[in-house]
């Protein structure tokens, strides 16, 4: 098939390269000339394991090409046009659909040009004859990969596509950054939603050979499946984080609680890792957009609001814990390990470290931060005084405290003995991802604290300097709430 993919971010690039591997002729389009230039040289402008090879292979085979919109001949779009442009959050939490609208309008415009040429100079821009399922025949199919709020597809179809003779299919994407290439070829399920059964079948066939169950449904339902999946996973994370906070109070270990409850298949063991909460380009934005949609419909989705509130609180736990241990952070050297929102990506969108570091700096801490991939992306978003380095040991030099914010392998497997030598008293370790072994860390002379590992926190409290009032772990001294 001839396929066009609009938007060469990580979803679009993985889709384009994956479809090219499957033997399709794919054109990847992006509005950023620098990006297109790099892809043409078979370079991926961001870090995603395995994608470089896939893009190189596609480019070498001639099945994967790239272009700017202005370079595309109207007839070149092919059978399917995937839309994978960004849908960032507006200040209200609503999804900003301007890029999606522009992309869909552009496809309609291109198709009109083709029809005008085919019909000759007397052609009118009238409505196409309806196909057997009531939708226009003959045009390309727009396949929406971008995450758009339920109801958007039908609106886009009425506004831009129906009169142009283009069908619309919602085909939400469940790729995880860091394992996007693997996820593309091994989906758990494929969701295809359309008000045109023939268009839905055409897209479903594309993924048939992956052997995953295919959910064929209507447009709004497919859109809701994506939001439902992300909101549910976010809920699982906030739930385990709430349990973790309780574990800290009663002296239990959330890691064992997670194992104990996760063995029940109705609960499941995944997405029960307590820590600084979720970040990234999807969960925060999609949960906020669903919450916004609920407000638009005057429906108080209470559970979702709690999920968001817990997540916002969770990322500040290290700040409260350091205050509790040290009283004041003025002049304290703090190392933060991890800037990316999770390991194996250089994506820093909604990363906990990016909220935490400015607050530490505001309280007078001297912050040194390390990340193996994300330093360049994080630099413009952080106070200039923060020392940034790819090396954990360099960041730890002379630090009284370290916060593990992202569980990169490099950090988990660090030579912690050497780290202890390089750090200064009282050698506090706030393990924001419960990725380190508390007993080993304490044996090495660190004062360890995780999230919900209450039974290991006694030595931490002992770090409070004599005469300093201990601050409640949740910042009920008022300072944290002032944020």
What residues act catalytically?
282
Number of residues interacting with ligand UDX: please give it, by CB under 6 A: 19
Task: Fill in the per-residue mask, 135 to 174: x = in contact with ligand UDX (CB under 6 A), - = not in contact.
Answer: --------------------------------------xx
Q: Does the annotation place 274 within a ligand binding site?
A: yes
Collapsed DSSP state (helix, strand, coil) of residue 244: helix
**Per CB under 6 A, does 181 bind ligand UDX?**
no
Closer CB to ligand UDX, residue 232 or residue 297?
232
Cβ distance 448 to 459 under 8 Å? yes
Helices (H), 120-179: 152-156
**Secondary structure, 3-state, 85-116:** CCCCECCCCCECCHHHHHHHHHHHHHHHHHHH
Collapsed DSSP state (helix, strand, coil) of residue 304: helix
For the chain, what's the residue count? 483
**Per CB under 6 A, does 411 bind ligand UDX?**
no
Closer CB to ligand UDX, residue 175 or residue 326?
175
Residues between 298 and 357 that touch ligand UDX (CB under 6 A): 341-342
- In what helix (H) or strand (E) does residue 26 lie, and over which residues does it extend? strand 25-29
The closest of 157, 221, 248 to 472, measured between CA atoms, is: 248
**Per CB under 6 A, does 283 bind ligand UDX?**
yes
Do β-strands 401-404 and 387-389 pair in parallel, antiparallel, or remain unpaired? unpaired
Closer CB to ligand UDX, residue 106 or residue 278?
278
Q: Does the annotation place 271 within a ligand binding site?
A: yes
The closest of 110, 20, 35, 108 to 67, measured between CA atoms, is: 35
What DSSP state is assigned to residue 342? S
Closer CB to ligand UDX, residue 111 or residue 285?
285
**Per CB under 6 A, does 175 bind ligand UDX?**
yes
Distance CA 81, CA 69 (A): 13
Closer CB to ligand UDX, residue 282 or residue 326?
282
Q: Which of 273, 344, 427, 449 binds ligand UDX (CB under 6 A)?
A: 273
Q: Which of 271, 295, 390, 412 binds ligand UDX (CB under 6 A)?
A: 271
Contacts (Cβ under 8 Å, ≥6 apart) of 320: 471, 472, 473, 474, 475, 480
Q: Does the annotation place 279 within a ligand binding site?
A: yes
**Per CB under 6 A, does 8 bind ligand UDX?**
no
**Per CB under 6 A, does 460 bind ligand UDX?**
no
Q: Which two tokens stand for residue 144?
A: 């929406």
Annotated binding site for NAD(+): 30, 35, 87, 147, 177, 285, 349
Question: Which residues define the annotated binding site?
Answer: 30, 35, 87, 147, 174-177, 226, 271-275, 279, 285, 342, 349
Enumerate binding residues for ligand UDX (CB under 6 A).
173-177, 230, 237, 271-273, 275, 277-280, 282-283, 341-342
């Amino acid at each position: 098939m001839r396929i066009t993919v609009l938007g060469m971010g990580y979803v679009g690039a993985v889709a384009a390269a994956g479809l090219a591997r499957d033997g399709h002729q794919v054109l990847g389009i992006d509005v950023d000339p620098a990006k297109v230039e790099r892809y043409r040289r078979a370079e991926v402008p961001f870090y995603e394991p395995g994608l470089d090879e896939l893009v190189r292979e596609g480019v070498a085979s001639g099945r994967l090409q790239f272009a700017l919109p202005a370079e595309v001949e109207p007839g070149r779009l092919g059978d399917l046009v995937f839309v994978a442009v960004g849908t960032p959050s507006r200040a209200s939490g609503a999804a900003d659909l301007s890029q999606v609208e522009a992309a869909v309008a552009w496809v309609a415009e291109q198709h009109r040009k083709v029809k005008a040429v085919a019909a000759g100079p007397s052609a009118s821009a009238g409505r196409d004859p309806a196909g057997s399922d009531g939708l226009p025949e003959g045009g390309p199919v727009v396949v929406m990969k971008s995450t758009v709020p339920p109801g958007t597809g039908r609106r886009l179809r009425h506004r831009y596509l129906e009169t142009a003779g283009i069908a619309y299919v919602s085909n939400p994407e469940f790729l995880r950054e860091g394992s996007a290439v693997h996820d593309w070829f091994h989906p758990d399920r494929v969701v295809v939603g359309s008000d045109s059964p023939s268009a839905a079948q055409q897209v479903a066939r594309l993924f048939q050979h992956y052997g995953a169950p295919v959910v064929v449904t209507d447009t709004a339902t497919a859109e809701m499946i994506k939001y439902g999946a992300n909101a549910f996973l976010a809920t699982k994370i906030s739930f385990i984080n709430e349990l973790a906070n309780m574990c800290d109070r009663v002296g239990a270990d959330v890691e064992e609680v997670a194992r104990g409850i996760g063995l029940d298949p109705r609960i499941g063991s995944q997405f029960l890792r307590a820590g600084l909460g979720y970040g990234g380009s999807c969960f925060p934005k999609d949960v906020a957009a669903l919450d916004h949609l609920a407000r638009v419909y005057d429906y108080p989705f209470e559970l979702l609001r709690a999920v968001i509130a817990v997540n916002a609180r969770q990322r500040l736990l290290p700040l409260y814990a350091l205050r509790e241990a040290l009283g004041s952070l003025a002049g304290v050297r703090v190392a933060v390990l991890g800037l990316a929102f999770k390991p194996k990506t250089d994506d820093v969108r909604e990363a906990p470290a990016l909220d935490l570091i400015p607050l530490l700096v505001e309280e007078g801490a001297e912050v040194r931060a390390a990340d193996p991939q994300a330093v360049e992306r994080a630099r413009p978003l952080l106070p200039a005084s923060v020392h940034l380095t790819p090396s954990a040991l360099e960041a730890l030099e002379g630090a009284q405290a370290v916060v593990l914010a992202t569980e990169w392998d490099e950090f988990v497997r660090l030579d912690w003995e050497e780290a202890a030598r390089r750090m200064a008293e009282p050698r506090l370790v706030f393990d924001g991802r419960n990725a380190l072994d508390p007993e080993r860390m304490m044996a090495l002379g660190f004062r360890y604290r995780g999230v919900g590992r209450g039974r290991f926190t006694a030595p931490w409290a002992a770090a409070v300097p004599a005469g300093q009032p201990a601050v409640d772990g949740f910042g009920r001294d008022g300072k944290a709430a002032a944020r």
